[in-house]
Homo-oligomer: A and B are copies of this chain.
Amino acid sequence: MRIATTPQLPYYAVVFTSVRSEPDPDYEVAAEEMLRLAAEQPGFLGAESARNVEGFGITVSYWSSPSAIRDWKANAEHAAIQRLGRERWYRSYRIRVSLVEREYGFDG
């Protein structure tokens, strides 16, 4: 995993915070497949993801517009995986759609 290289402002960030339920190898496969699928979606700009050993995770995906985010949410394959997520993989999650207004950083 690397820090995403995002374009000039403005763009959108979707912050997906989640608590996993019991370990399930199918989850890892589906998570990778979703990243691959998202990357093919129009308006996708990049993504970053981290999960700690207790199963608390944050994935941030970057998008060009709210309509690109809506289209990804409605993608049929993604919608099926969202249902599996609620049924099997997540104890709870929160999604926050936000407009990035400022960006800066450091490269050592």
Listed in ascending order, the chain A residues whose CB lies under 8 Å from chain B are 1-4, 6, 13, 15, 17-19, 21, 48-54, 56-58, 60, 66, 85-86, 90-108
Residue of B nearest to A21 (CB): B108
B3 and A94 contacting across the interface, CB-CB below 8 Å: yes
- The answer to whether B13 touches A15 (Cβ under 8 A) is yes
Smallest distance from the beta carbon of A76 to chain B beta carbons, Å? 19
Complex: A15 Cα to B61 Cα, angstroms: 11
A87 and B84 CA atoms in complex are apart in Å by 43
Q: Is the CB–CB distance between A98 and B95 below 8 Å?
A: no
CB distance from A99 to the nearest CB of B (A): 5
Given the known interface contacts A13-B15, A50-B52, A58-B48, the answer about A103 and B95 at a Cβ–Cβ threshold of 8 Å is yes
